[in-house]
Structure 1
């Protein structure tokens, strides 16, 4: 599924929260969505589309999308039944595409089977802003760690539009953080970025342009990489792992 990383791709990756999770109790997350819209121009002229394939087109999330953006943008969504031709036409009319959370592996498999991955990659190289939360934040990268604490975690290839790996819900889901850290430390995952809920990372041309914060809970985004390779892993001990706040200007890399 992977494609060659493109220097022209622009991504706005949200670690978690937002309009699809109103029950989380963080209305401040709307700030991130406002900043996303601002990347494409003044409201209400922005054209934004929603892809909810990771949640099987859950109707509540589609409704939430339209309610969130109907007064500040031209909003539409791409159903799971769409083929590559329909997807290409849909994307060509947008400034921004927003991909919702859910089961990343199922979404990527569907995209590959129908050719939607190529349609999305082509649109991104032609100026479409890629954005999303959780699954929709990480699917653009080369290396992914997917799953849940209950079902277990597994390595999975992403679309490869951005170098390295990525992890959502970083310090909000401890088992996910521990597994991601371990896989980066042992070289099973490329170094990458990890994003807390309520935080977004804006990436242009493979370089971090900004890290956006919505909440006052101390959430942040991080660069996660091995400080050295000669370490012994015992339990969840991640001695040798280096985690540092992500800064604008950092260039993504897939070096292990």
Structure 2
């Protein structure tokens, strides 16, 4: 089962602390599964932790979160070498690809070395739902604002480009991201930018933004456009998702 058309859920959330576990999948991860249309079997999630160097502790917590949610999770690791003989087969056999946050610049470099950029595009075209948080959101766009290069935020402009926009994550929790994104749209670096507060996700069918959703009440999504050489921001009110189990 795959989504009926190329689908991305780009987020600034998806995880929360559990009562018995260090990590649970929050509503955004469950929504990614819903978008895939899977039914009648356990959803297959491919977890990609490249942006945090395939940290083993995080992978273990993600596996536990998947167990609690009733999902089958396969980690795709690239350090110190790919852990799967057939990376493309594993990606295409998934219902959802969930990409963890971290360094989007390092993620892009390592993916390109291993040909994963091409594989992700094939998966997107085939209807595998591509999703993730922070760096796992930025990677699907032309680029966005990042601290991959150091504490001072800088633009990244060479992401996968499946979605022809800039992307701003953690829009309400990192004060520097909004003004930098406004400058990047005003100077034409990005023709348009789509941004999310923490806990918010953006749903794309093909390259069209169709909905904003949130797992936290009161949060927002934003579209930033260039008008008369200046950046103009429009707030989008997200739909509140059902509370995730667990």
What per-residue deviation string (whole Å, max 9, x for no partner) do you get for residues 166-199 of structure 1? 1111121111221111111122222110111100
5+ residue gaps, structure 2: 239-246
2:50 maps to 53
TM-score by length of 1: 0.80
Where 2:27 maps in the other structure, the secondary structure is helix
Cα distance between partner residues in 2 of 1:43 and 1:68: 20
2:242 maps to none
Shift of residue 118, structure 1, vs aligned partner:
0.5
1:82 maps to 82
TM-score by length of 2: 0.83
Cα distance between partner residues in 1 of 2:72 and 2:6: 22
Report which stretch shifted further, 30-39 or 108-117.
Answer: 30-39
Runs of 4 or more, structure 1, over 3 Å off, are none
Q: Give the 5 Å matches for 1:177-196.
A: 177-196=178-197
Is 1:210–1:247's contact at 8 Å kept on the other side of the alignment? no
1:163 maps to 164
Matched, 1:174 2:175: yes
Q: Would you say how many aligned residue pairs link Structure 1 and Structure 2?
A: 226
Q: Give the 5 Å matches for 1:60-75.
A: 60-71=57-68, 72-75=70-73
- CA distance change for structure 1 residues 177 and 129 in 2, over 3 Å: closer, same or farther? same
Is 1:48–1:95's contact at 8 Å kept on the other side of the alignment? yes
1:241 maps to 231
Q: What is the alpha-carbon root mean square deviation over aligned residues? A: 2.5
Shift of residue 143, structure 1, vs aligned partner:
3.1
- CA distance change for structure 1 residues 110 and 63 in 2, over 3 Å: closer, same or farther? same
- CA distance change for structure 1 residues 107 and 28 in 2, over 3 Å: closer, same or farther? closer
2:147 maps to 147
Cα distance between partner residues in 2 of 1:83 and 1:77: 8
Shift of residue 156, structure 1, vs aligned partner:
2.6
Shift of residue 32, structure 1, vs aligned partner:
1.6
5+ residue gaps, structure 1: 1-7, 230-239, 249-256
1:104 maps to 104
Cα distance between partner residues in 2 of 1:65 and 1:28: 8
